[in-house]
């Protein structure tokens, strides 16, 4: 015969297993909907006349995705009797069902929201201006000469135990908090920097302030295999001050 203690322990394991299943399912669905959004954004950006590069603009559906993933881990184990850092007390069978159904409802809402509005907020850089799209329609545009600051650089991150990681950023800031976040995309660093050269020339001619920092290790990582001309353009784009 199973004792009450053993029964309670078994239910705790059931709660932990359910939490992991729900969280992992939410993670997979978020990845799937994000992939659909990315394809939408890419297709829409490629249709913009004069597009040089484009960037993603995160919407509140991303927050829903994070909630859908985290919610089961913070609620389900406690509802099934786990005492460790629980936010929900031990519940009856009906209460446990309601908690699980609540997590499922949040996940469904997140998926439907992402499918409905995801992939319709993005920005595009053209030779003369930055454009911001929302809902698939052009909402704002500003000439590069109206920019207030260039922020970014090439940086090495050593916080991970798996070794250093490298990242390139070139963000142009405008008034009212608008940004053109032209990070390195799958284009490759050489193609990316060559495309941004004309924009950087316009910003430089307009006297836009530069707040750019690059470390030698990161630059060397990206410049492997580049031609001499590509290296010159890449380092020029990420220079800290105007020559």
Residues 60 and 159 reside in one and the same domain: no
- pLDDT, tens only, 19-54: 888 999 999 998 998 888 888 888 888 888 888 988
Q: Are residues 85 and 16 in the same domain?
A: yes
Same domain for 172 and 222: yes
Task: Find the Cα–Cα–Cα–Cα dihedral 151, 124, 55, 177, rounded to 10°.
Answer: 50
Helix, strand, coil % over all residues of the chain, rounded to 5:
55, 20, 25
Is residue 25 domain-shared with residue 111, that is, in the same domain?
yes
Q: Tens digits of per-residue pLDDT, 165-214?
A: 888 889 999 988 899 988 766 678 888 888 899 999 999 999 999 988 88
The pLDDT-based confidence of 2 (bands split at 50, 70, 90) is very low
The pLDDT value given to residue 3: 45
113 plus 175 within the same structural domain: no
Report phi then psi at 76, rounded to 5.
-65, -50
Domain count for the chain, please give it: 2
Question: Residue 75's domain spans which residues?
Answer: 4-123
Residues 6+ away with beta carbon under 8 Å from 223 = 189, 230, 231, 234, 235
Tell the burial category of 107 from Cβ atoms under 10 Å away from its Cβ (0-12, 13-18, 19+): buried
């Amino acid at each position: 015969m199973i004792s009450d203690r053993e029964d309670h322990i078994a239910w705790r394991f059931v709660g932990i297993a359910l939490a992991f299943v729900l969280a992992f399912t939410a993670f997979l669905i978020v990845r799937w909907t994000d992939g659909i959004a990315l394809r939408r954004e890419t297709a829409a950006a490629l249709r913009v006349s004069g597009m040089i590069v484009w960037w993603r603009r995160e919407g509140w559906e991303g927050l829903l995705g994070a909630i859908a993933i985290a919610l089961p881990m913070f609620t389900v184990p406690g509802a099934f009797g786990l005492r460790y850092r629980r936010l929900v007390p031990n519940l009856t069978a009906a209460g446990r069902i309601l908690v699980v159904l609540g997590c499922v409802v949040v996940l469904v809402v997140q998926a439907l929201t992402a499918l409905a509005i995801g992939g319709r907020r993005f920005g595009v850089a053209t030779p003369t201006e930055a454009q911001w799209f929302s809902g698939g329609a052009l909402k704002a545009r500003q000439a590069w000469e109206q920019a207030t600051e260039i922020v970014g650089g090439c940086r090495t991150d050593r916080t991970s135990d798996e070794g250093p990681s490298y990242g390139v950023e070139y963000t142009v800031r405008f008034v009212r908090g608008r940004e053109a976040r032209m990070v390195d995309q799958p284009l490759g660093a050489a193609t990316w920097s060559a495309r941004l050269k004309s924009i950087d020339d316009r910003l430089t001619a307009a006297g836009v302030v530069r707040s750019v920092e690059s470390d030698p290790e990161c630059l060397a990582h990206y410049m492997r295999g580049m031609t001499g001309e590509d290296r010159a353009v890449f380092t020029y784009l990420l220079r800290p001050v105007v020559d």
